[in-house]
A and B are shown apart, each in its own frame.
Chain A
Amino acid sequence: MGNDSKATTGLYRRALLAGLWRENPTFRLLIGMCPPLAVTTAVKPALTMGISVIFVLVCSNLVTSLMRNLLKPHLRIIMFTLNIATFVTICDLYLRAYLPDMSEILGAYVPLIIVNCIIIFRAEACASKCGPVVSVLDAIGTGSGFTIALCILAGIREILATGCFFGVRVMPGGFVPWLAMQMPVGAFVTLGLILGLISAVTRKKEA
């Protein structure tokens, strides 16, 4: 009984922590790369996007997990898409109603969460095979890993592009903003450097 409880706790912990680092969708698996490149000009929109993805992931994983025994193999992708599209639409409506400024900044990228492969990937790899608790923990972990990655990218770009972090000035008065960091090239360069750094650290650990 004690071993069962330990195994369950271990499973829950693994489900929660995997997405944060070992299976971080942005920095380790390199999936769902549209938002990290498109909405990381500042931390506020990046955080909003991250929280939106967590909401959609949690809801879609929970619903997929609850209906996993009823899913027909040939209908599962359409069921996932239907499920994800519903929660993305709800999220989009909520942002338009209560965070209109963020909704405007994020523009088409909120509806585009529907085609973000992180969500369909977790539905296929985890929620369609595991129970609701594991699926929700997996969604929170993966979504949080994605949000942290977005915020790291956005933080670096916002500081270098505007001298501010979360809208608050952090760079000295004489700082000359790097305008390129606000443009797509800034996203590619920052992401490339971070991926290089992570790769170097991981290799060093493995060696």
Chain B
Amino acid sequence: MSKIKYFIEQSWLLIAASFCFGLLIAVTDAALSPKIEENKATKLNQLTMDLLREARRFVALDAEIEVKLAGGKKEKVKVYKAMSEAGECVGWSFNASGQGFADKIELVVAVDKNFEKIAGFNVLVSNETPGFGDRIKSSYYRSQFVEAPAEKLQLVKTGDPKKIDSEIVSITGATVSSEAVIGIINTFLIQIKEHIQQKGLTGDGK
């Protein structure tokens, strides 16, 4: 009994403070999380709409698609069908992520309605080196993906960045980040394309 009394005497403040602080965090989180979720959705929509300009709304596919990553890991990806104002499918978009030079890179990738051409990609999260790796966000690099074939892409050190094909010219001084983006897109794009084509969902316009 005396041990319990001693324990309570010593720790009552810690227990009471933990409860109060926990409550404070819970209340703040409850108050702010709708706004945080709204911000995330707005950002994703903005970035995706930049890539698919005709899109007015995005409809998620019922089932998430499982993508096999390097090292045997698997990730479930939500794929969105981009719909025009008239209700026609104008493309597809999905989030893709992988290891960059400094940290994880998260992208939003868009493709045309037939999964034949890449509409482009935007960077959701990246902590690549300022001035070097973070140039994966630059139009010089990103524009090479617009209209590129939706098949396995290759990174080349030299070439014409204006020529649109499956060869992407690396960013000088940021080969690792350039490779990381190509790797992420190749991994996700090819597997999602296979799945969508197998299900016969491409270009149905519905």
Contact surface of A with B, Cβ cutoff 8 Å: 41, 67, 70-72, 75, 78-79, 82-83, 85-86, 89-90, 93-94, 96-98, 100, 104, 107, 179, 182-183
Let me know if A93 and B10 touch, CB within 8 A.
no
Q: Is B139 an interface residue (CB 8 A)?
A: no
Let me know if A107 and B17 touch, CB within 8 A.
no
Chain B residues within an 8 Å CB radius of A75: 10-11, 13-14
Q: A79-B13, A79-B17, A107-B127 are in contact. List 9 more A-B contacts (CB 8 A).
A: A67-B17, A83-B17, A90-B28, A93-B29, A93-B32, A93-B33, A93-B36, A96-B39, A183-B130
Interface SS majority for chain A: helix
Tell me which of B18-26, B81-89, B161-169, B184-192 binds A: B18-26
Report A80 CB to chain B, min CB distance, Å: 11
Query: Could you name 27 residue pairs across A and B whose Cβ atoms are closer than 8 Å?
Result: A67-B17, A70-B13, A71-B13, A72-B10, A72-B13, A75-B11, A82-B17, A82-B18, A85-B21, A89-B28, A90-B25, A90-B28, A93-B29, A93-B33, A94-B28, A94-B32, A96-B32, A96-B36, A97-B32, A97-B36, A98-B35, A100-B36, A100-B39, A100-B43, A104-B125, A183-B130, A183-B131
Let me know if A89 and B25 touch, CB within 8 A.
yes
A153 to B125, CA, bound (A): 26
A89 to B22, CA, bound (A): 11
Q: Is B172 an interface residue (CB 8 A)?
A: no
A44 to B191, CA, bound (A): 41
B interface residues, how many (CB within 8 angstroms) = 22
Q: Which residues, 108 to 137 on B, are CB-close (under 8 Å) to A?
A: 125, 127, 129-131
A94 to B32, CA, bound (A): 7
Report B30 CB to chain A, min CB distance, Å: 10
